Structures are given as structure tokens and as C-alpha cells.
Structure 1
Amino acid sequence: MKEKSARNKTIDISVEEGSQYYERCIQVKSEVIIDDIIDKSIHGNSLEVLPLLPHQFVDLLIVDPPYNLEKNYHGAKFTKQSEENYRTYTVEWVDKVLPLLKPTASIYVCCDWKSSLIIGSVLMEKLNVMNRITWQREKGRGASSNWKNGMEDVWFATVSKDYTFNLEAVKIRKKVIAPYRVDGKPKDWEETKEGNFRNTSPSNFWDDISIPYWSMAENTAHPTQKPEKLLAKLILASSNKDDIVLDPFMGSGTTSVTAKKLGRHYVGIEQNDVYCTWAEKRLEMAEEDESIQGYVDGVFWERNTFATQKGNSKSGL
């Protein structure tokens, strides 16, 4: 087997190699209280675990379910289903998670363009759908007889009309090309040694996200890993310090890790023991490095600006 480059930070250890991390995971076989699961990775099938969790303990739900595609998750294969069966599957996990949400909770669900049609319709039946975010993946395979698929959706919904949304926490810093001045002073922008910038309100189209790659500390061998920067936007906007964030399809732990870095509590559920191991390793790493690529001094920077290339800070939170 080809030896990995010293600069390659991809986490790709086996359960045996990372046994000290896997041992930190828990299993839930009967009803539990919050203290049993807070800041834990639960190894198990979410459809079996969710009914055993406390009612109305979740402030923010972030879900990245298997898209309706043929996919091999390190030995656990997801088989593409008919649209009817995928809808049934979606309704099942939604119905199991709804009792866990506080009346003030917010929900974000990740999907590709095709599963988005099904997931969105289910959410509209059961929750208050507020928006659909589309974010640009700068990676992806080309297609010879179709448009390259370079976008994914994130549905934003709430349990009620009483919910958290911290606009100031998710402003985007953009370069000002033609700065406007009044009496010689900047108006609605600031002058810095790195350039002229304005903090603007985010829209529901995000083109500033970088997919994790081999030289980034957050990168794992998970086939559908989401970037910490993407999760940071959701967590900062729709939760407050010490709130509880639940991810019932935890994968390699990006939601839990980002929640920890941003001062929130987390609960993650994952049925693959390898991914549970990676998640716990990343959670340990977060104790030494709280940086989030592209998020510096309380501001989200555009992709490929200076701030995304330097050591990041959590100051300004």
C-alpha cells in the first residue's frame, strides 16, 4: 500500500488502530436521560436509538441523511430506493425525531437536488419551512450528457414561529471593489491592511464553502463529509452558547466537532463503528485546535481570501 504523504492529514484509521477513541462512544439500549448522552457519540442505528432519547431536549437539529444514491459507507451500503420508499424512509426518521425537539428548535436537513424534492415536501407537511439554502460544491465529477452537479441543498425549518436566528453571527466579509466615501471616510465598509471589506447579510446561496481536502486537519476518508464552515453557519445562526445540537446521522462527526468548537453541547448518532472512531478522534483534536477554516475573528470570509489561508481564531464569538 502506498505510504501517505506527511502533509496528508486525512483521518483514515481502523477501529483497532483507534480503539481508545471508539471506547469513548456509548450505546443506548433503553430509555436515557440527558446526562447520559450529552456530549457523546452514540454507536447505533438512529431509527432504533431516537425513540429512547428524552423528549424536547434538542435546541438545534442538523440532519445529513443518506441521499437516495448507491453509496458504500465503508462496508455499509445504502441502496437507491424508489421515490415512494425513500419518502417512507424520510417520514420515519422525521417522525422519530420530532418528539425530541424543543418548541423553539430549528432544523436543517442536507440533501442533493433529487432527494431535496422529497425531503422538502415531507418537511412542509410537518414543520414550518423557512427557506432552502443552496451551497456550491467546488468539486464534483463532470457529466458527458448532463450538467455537472455542483450544488447541494440545506432545508431550514422550525418547530414554531418562536426560534433563534443570530444574524450578526453569520455576516460574510466581502471585498469592496469600488468603496464609497462620505466626507472622505468609509461608508458601510472598513479599511484594513489586507484590503477594503464590508460585512454583509448572507443570502440563501452560499459560494464561499471549501470542501475538505487531504491537507486540511478536518479531512477524513468519509465519502460525503460536510465542511466545518458549512456547519458553523448553521450552528451560529440557529443556536446559542450551551444549547444542545443533535445529529442523528453523525458520519465522521463534523456537526459534533463544530458544535464543540463553538461552545455548544452535542449528541451524535452513527451506526458505523469506523466513523464513530473518527468522530471521537476529531473531538479530541478540537480540544487543542478550535479553528474553523474560513471563519476568523467572528466573521465568515469569502473562499480563497487571506483569512482562509492563515491560522484561524475563535475570537469574536
Structure 2
Amino acid sequence: MIPSFYKSPNNDFTLIQGDCVETLSKFKFGFDMVFADPPYFLSGGGISCQSGKIVCVDKGAWDIPTTPEDLDAFNLRWLLAVREHMKDNATIWVSGTHHNIFSVQQQLLKLGFKILNVITWAKTNPPPNISCRYFTFSTEFIIWARKSPKIPHYYNYSLMKELNGNKQMTDVWQLPAIGKWEKTCGKHPTQKPLSVLARLIQASCEPNAWILDPFSGSGTTGIAANLLGRSYLGLEKEEEYLIMSRSRRIELEDTKIRWEYLKRLEKNKIISISDNVIVSESVEAYYNIPWI
């Protein structure tokens, strides 16, 4: 049995500290969906602008640029480990920029995944480019792929169309970067907004599904999953981020805060509360959880 760093009262949110490949090798369990935000390897001494101030963009030793060969090896290693824990009809989302996303795409193809879409997340509030030598960086990419080319995947087409004004949703998403209301427990340097995670979770897995995040970070994937009636396992090496994730999940025990988050997402047409938010009373009624 693998000890958990934190487990929510109803077992729908579990955090484990450790390397994702080593941790996944210790149990057998199939996930319905995976979201991964691996290192972009772009912390090479650059600068950016935040709240009108010039700041260094270095995020930590885990994000220091590496060679193309080592980048490919890293992505192949974790993707192979994750693939072995995906159900046959499961899909995976992987976020990145030009620093890492092309390597991810090549390793996905090498392992036999079928790429379904490449989402372009166009941020409505990007930081300015202070060097004035490039176009302003305002997008990130999210690859969506399924495990098997021959086994159909789940896609909630009707909901995505409904949330998009009854028009087919495209692969370009105009969504803001993280807001202040999502930083109540601190800020992770690469924290993703709930709006992005909520959309892709609703699009690609059903209520009561199990979601894996091998690079858990601040736990946004798990918060979005629990708000939408899904269950979550997050793997993370850094204790400070595990503490942040735990604090964020504890916040959701306050029904007022949970409802505030849901209303914010509904207001921005990310979710439909009346039809699509289902909160499980007991996760254990659906699954046997073998790692805790």
C-alpha cells in the first residue's frame, strides 16, 4: 500500500508524494482520463511582467532547459508509465508551449496514441512582451489524444455545443489566465485556471470518472474534478505544492466556497450547473481504490 499525503473525507481527492513513474509502478488501476502539465523546460533566466513589475520567470530546478535528446527521453518515460494505467477507451490531455509540446507529440505517436485535437488556449489577459523583440506570447497548446486508435473515446459534443451558444466548439479557446480568486492558498508558478480544466474534464469524461494528474502542482485538476463530480489522484514531488493542493481541497468542504466557484464557472459559460454537475455521495460505491 502506498501512503497518501492527503485524502479527502469522501475519498474523491488523493495526493501522493513522489515521482510519477516510480509511484505508478507500484499499483494497478485504470483511469478514465489523464491531464498532464509536465515541465516546459523554459527557466533559462528570462524575464516577464506581472502586475506591472518585471520578474524573473525561472520556476525551479525542475524546469531548467535540457537537451532535445533528454527532453524526448523524459517525455517518453512518463507517457509510457501513464499509458499503462489508462483504460482502453481513456484519453489524455497534455499542455505545453513550443518548448516541449513538439516532443510530447512525437512520443505520443511513438507509443501508439491517436491524436484527436490540438487545442490552442488563447489567453485573454496575457502579460506584455517587455523586450519588444517578439510577438507577445499569449497562447498555450493542449494535445488531446486517445490511448487506442481503434477504440472510441468519450466526447460530450452536445454539452460543448450548448456552452458555445449552440455552435460547434472549435479548437481555439478564448479563456483568461488564472484569476486572483484562485490563489487563496498561494500560487504555483505554472498554475492552470479552473476554467480550462473544467472544460476539458466535461468534454472528455463522464461523472464519477477517475482522473489522473502525474504532475499535480497546485491541484487545479483535482479541484475541477471534484466540483464536477469526478474523482482524482494527483502525484507530485514537491511538498510545498502538495500542501497548497491540500489546502485548496479543504476549502471545498465549505459549501459556500464550493458554490461560489461553481457560479463563477457557470457565469463564464464553462459549465452548466443544472444539468452537468453531479457530486458523488460515496466514491467507494463505484471503485475499489488500491493505492491507499
TM-score (norm 1): 0.72
Q: Secondary structure at the match of 1:41?
A: strand
Cα deviation digits, residues 119-148 of structure 1 (max 9, x gap): 111112220111100101222340421111
- Which of the numbers 50, 57, 68 marks the counterpart of 2:24? 50
Report the CA distance between 1:159 and its aligned residue: 1.1
Q: Secondary structure at the match of 2:126?
A: coil
Match of 1:130 in 2: 116
Is residue 2:101 matched to residue 1:111? Answer: no
Partner Cα distance (1:293, 1:80) in 2? 39
Match of 1:167 in 2: 157
* Root-mean-square deviation over aligned CA pairs: 2.5
Is residue 2:265 matched to residue 1:295? Answer: yes
Match of 1:155 in 2: 143
Normalized per residue, which structure has more helix?
2
Is residue 2:33 matched to residue 1:60? Answer: yes
Q: Secondary structure at the match of 1:134?
A: strand
Cα deviation digits, residues 255-298 of structure 1 (max 9, x gap): 01100000001000011111111111111222323324753189
Map residues 62-77 of structure 1 onto 2, 5 A cutoff. 62-70=35-43, 72-73=58-59, 76-77=61-62
Match of 1:32 in 2: none
Q: Secondary structure at the match of 1:114?
A: coil
Map residues 223-238 of structure 1 onto 2, 5 A cutoff. 223-238=189-204
Cα distance change, pair 286–170 in 1 and its aligned pair in 2 (3 A): farther
Instruction: Assess if the C-alpha contact under 8 Å between 2:95 and 2:143 holds in 1.
Output: yes
Instruction: Assess if the C-alpha contact under 8 Å between 1:296 and 1:315 holds in 2.
Output: no
- Which of the numbers 231, 251, 274 marks the counterpart of 1:315? 274
Partner Cα distance (1:217, 1:146) in 2? 29
Cα distance change, pair 84–286 in 1 and its aligned pair in 2 (3 A): same
Structure 2 letter corresponding to 1:102: K
Partner Cα distance (2:39, 2:220) in 1? 15
TM-score (norm 2): 0.78
User: Larger Cα Rg: Structure 1 or Structure 2?
Assistant: 1
Partner Cα distance (2:160, 2:67) in 1? 38
Report the CA distance between 1:39 and its aligned residue: 2.6
Where do 5+ consecutive residues of structure 1 fail to align? 1-22, 28-36, 175-197, 302-312
Cα deviation digits, residues 224-254 of structure 1 (max 9, x gap): 1001110011110111111100000000000
Cα distance change, pair 298–151 in 1 and its aligned pair in 2 (3 A): closer
Cα distance change, pair 237–114 in 1 and its aligned pair in 2 (3 A): same
Q: How many residues align?
A: 249
Match of 2:70 in 1: 85
Q: Which moved more, 1:64-73 or 1:129-138?
A: 64-73
Partner Cα distance (1:252, 1:286) in 2? 14
Partner Cα distance (2:79, 2:217) in 1? 18
Structure 2 letter corresponding to 1:132: V
Cα deviation digits, residues 27-69 of structure 1 (max 9, x gap): 9xxxxxxxxx8631111121221211314x1000100001021
Structure 1 runs of 4+ with >6 Å offset: none
Partner Cα distance (1:98, 1:24) in 2? 22
Instruction: Assess if the C-alpha contact under 8 Å between 1:170 and 1:299 holds in 2.
Output: no
Instruction: Assess if the C-alpha contact under 8 Å between 1:111 and 1:154 holds in 2.
Output: yes
Q: Secondary structure at the match of 1:300?
A: coil
Partner Cα distance (1:148, 1:293) in 2? 32
Partner Cα distance (2:87, 2:68) in 1? 30
The sequence identity of aligned pairs, in percent, is 26
Q: Secondary structure at the match of 1:236?
A: helix
Instruction: Assess if the C-alpha contact under 8 Å between 1:228 and 1:293 holds in 2.
Output: no
Where do 5+ consecutive residues of structure 2 fail to align? 44-56, 277-292
Partner Cα distance (1:77, 1:141) in 2? 25
Instruction: Assess if the C-alpha contact under 8 Å between 2:42 and 2:63 holds in 1.
Output: yes
Instruction: Assess if the C-alpha contact under 8 Å between 1:228 and 1:292 holds in 2.
Output: no
Instruction: Assess if the C-alpha contact under 8 Å between 1:297 and 1:316 holds in 2.
Output: no
Cα distance change, pair 267–52 in 1 and its aligned pair in 2 (3 A): same
